[in-house]
Amino acid sequence: MNKNWVLTQDAFDALLGWLDSDREVAGRKYEDIRNRLIKIFNYRGCPEPEDLADETINRVTNRLSTVESTFVGEQSLYFYGVANKVHQEYRRRKPVPELPPPSSHDESLDQEFECLERCMQKLTLENRKLLIEYYQNERKAKIDHRKRLAEQLGIAINALRIRAFRLRASLQKCVTNCLHEAAL
């Protein structure tokens, strides 16, 4: 994208005109697309989802004069395609930060581990196994493993995510309470 390009009111009006001839409908479509882009970038783990959504919209707006006359179909799909490119570029320029090496033996880590163990024991055997299984592996292996786990449980992958999220949240609350009690 041209780094000197700036979104102007005329360019924004042209974008709204491309989305719909009715300005109110165009405004709603714009907001829906922007919110969906933010969700997409957020889901992909980007710490700046709003900025990346705005970058995507700016790129679409910048190319609108060449796209507008030939584009056929749902405009939101074009935004999502551009969002994929923006995300790829973002990942190339933003290396994943490496975690610092663990410091020498720390008693607070021992306390956290004890609290985690205690809280894990409070979970049912089924829920404990689910959490351990859910957080295994990395990348593609993790995705495949979670699909198999959902199939074994006879639930949808999204239901599995929700169940794991709720279990982790309750576990996190238990560990926090345990650490707070230990500090007293």
**What does the pLDDT read at residue 1?**
47
Q: With helix as H, strand as E and coil as C, how does 57-105 read?
A: HHHHHHHHHHHCCCCCCCHHHHHHHHHHHHHHHHHHHCCCCCCCCCCCC
Tens digits of residue pLDDT in 6-31 = 778 888 999 999 999 999 999 999 99
Q: How does pLDDT run across 93-144, given as a tens digit for each residue?
A: 866 566 677 666 667 788 999 999 999 999 999 999 999 999 888 888 888 8
Res 79: pLDDT:
94
146-165 tens-digit pLDDT: 999 999 999 998 889 999 99
Instruction: Say what the pLDDT of residue 24 is.
Output: 93
Neighbours of 14 (CB within 10 A): 15
Whether 145 contacts 154, CB under 8 Å = no
- Residue 110 is predicted with a pLDDT of 86
pLDDT of residue 171: 94
> Residue holding tokens 């055997």?
125
Q: Is the dihedral of CA 26, 30, 31, 32 positive or negative?
A: positive
